[in-house]
Amino acid sequence: MAAEDAVALKNKGNEAFKNHDWPTAIEFYTKAIEANDKEPSFFTNRAQANIKLEAYGYAIADATSAIELDPSFVKAYYRRAVANTAILKHGDAIHDWKIVVRKNPTDKVAKAQYDACQKMVKRDAFLKAIEVADAPSAAEGLDLENMIVEDSYDGVKLGDKMTQEFIDDMIERFKTGKKLHKKYVYQIILAAKEILYNEPTMPETHIKEGHKLTVCGDTHGQYFDLLEIFRLNGFPSESHGYLFNGDFVDRGSWSTEIALLLYAYKMLFPNSFFLNRGNHETDDMNRMYGFEGECKAKYNERVFKLFSESFSALPLATLIGDKYLTLHGGLFSDDATSLDDIRKLNRHSQRQPGQEGLMMEMLWTDPQTMPGRGPSKRGVGLQFGPDITKRFCEANGLKAIIRSHEVRMEGYEVEHDGRCITVFSAPKYCDSTENKGAYINFGPEYEPEYVKFDAVPHPDIKPMAYANNGMMGMMGM
């Protein structure tokens, strides 16, 4: 294949990239690389498409290939720095930001990222130094009993119990940019935390005659798209249960609204409304991707700390009708891991998932098309093939696993011979990916019904508006 054929393939990749169709862009960049693997820009282009798909591990590998071909190629250091920053490997990122700043001293964005990265490294070290195993709860000293809700507060009042009237008012308040009274915010988080804490690590639910259960994937602070799910599919009720499979917060700029609404529903329907933890219900991700900043901007730091405690109370998986294991990421590094291991996992003794172990794998892993296990395209966790899924389902008497954690252009995908289902419920993700959202309905027969939906308009607040040090600007580079 001639060099001009490779360039033509790259141009097709650029076209797909311009249309925010990242998977197709990657396909064409890969073909261009196969035609000519000596051109560093093909690798940096593919790295950027991988960054858009959050395949940061692949992006780092591509940027490194470009650097090997041309050690003076600034863009490659830039891409690698962005990818390492995204997976919180600030120490690795600093090295590359430093090179970018040295080679391009006038690049203000790179300079800002370099400075921000240095701050993060210092902050990480500081937080590690002051970490206390049994730190007191942020609820200590909160006197909710005597906290006054001023007469000027124009919303429905909340007593000891959650009511449908309060939720209906809350939905409308959030639509118009109004906030809840701080007392109610504290009340909701603390009540939800207690319910969640007392649930098993893997709640098990069965669908009765005349009932249904809807499984949703990542919603990532896209509040108006969450309301669209309820508009199309019906609001939660005793007979219409919902399961939200992690990543309620971060990236989208209505994360507090989503978290509070889901928690309010958990209070109202504790036995039919389920919440699993995602990899974004964790402190380090919340510091980077906007939820901490949003809590502080809309409420205060204590609200973030209470949310953090409630996130570590979230169950890690839900078993539907003994047939479908639903968890945020995916399967495990060890074939011997069973449903019983999940049941026995004491999630309360380990608040954050860390870099290895069962909890990390449940929140972070992804499927791959190749058999066996492979390194993670994200740079965190691992990937598992169809044979791994088959063995796990057969050993545990399951029809399939249901997971989320990754954008799918159609909102969902069934792979691994029908045994691995991905559902993602944030359409037009981050306002920059032309994907649909989806959810899955189950009745008492446990046959999945897939429903796709499109994004709806939202007020003009950008994704990542509250993120750490303008992370959004960097991710768009």
Domains assigned to the chain: 3-130 (1.25.40.10), 164-475 (3.60.21.10)
- Give the pLDDT score at 477: 37
Distance, CA of 386 to CA of 401 (rounded, Å): 11
* Residue whose structure tokens are 């380990």: 350
- Give the pLDDT score at 51: 96
Q: How many CB atoms lie within 10 A of CB 394?
A: 10
325 confidence band (pLDDT: 50, 70, 90): very high
Q: How far is CA 468 from CA 46, 85, 288, 450, 472, in A?
A: 25, 11, 5, 36, 9
Q: For residue 204, how far is the Cα from the chain centroid?
A: 23
- Give the pLDDT score at 212: 98
303 vs 133, higher pLDDT: 303
How many residues would you count in the chain? 477
Residue-wise pLDDT tens digits, 29-44: 999 999 999 999 999 9
Please give the helix or strand (H or E) that residue 391 lies within, else none. helix 386-395
265 vs 349, higher pLDDT: 265
Strand, helix or coil for residue 6: helix
Residue 130 has pLDDT above 90, yes or no: no
CB 456 within 8 A of CB 224: yes
439 vs 137, higher pLDDT: 439
Q: How does the average pLDDT of the chain come out, rounded? A: 95
Structure tokens at 402: 């249901």
- Residues with a known catalytic role: 280
- Give the pLDDT score at 116: 87
Residue 470 has pLDDT above 90, yes or no: no
Q: How many CB atoms lie within 10 A of CB 119?
A: 13
- Give the pLDDT score at 238: 97
The pLDDT of 432-442, averaged and rounded, is: 97
Q: How far is CA 88 from CA 61, 105, 291, 296, 362, in A?
A: 16, 24, 15, 21, 19
Residue-wise pLDDT tens digits, 80-113: 999 999 998 998 999 999 999 999 999 998 998 8
Residue 455 has pLDDT above 60, yes or no: yes
- Give the pLDDT score at 24: 96
* Residue whose structure tokens are 């504790």: 270
The pLDDT of 156-166, averaged and rounded, is: 97
Residue 472 has pLDDT above 60, yes or no: no
Structure tokens at 1: 């294949």
Exposed/middle/buried for residue 322 (C-beta within 10 Å: 0-12, 13-18, 19+): middle
DSSP state of 237: -
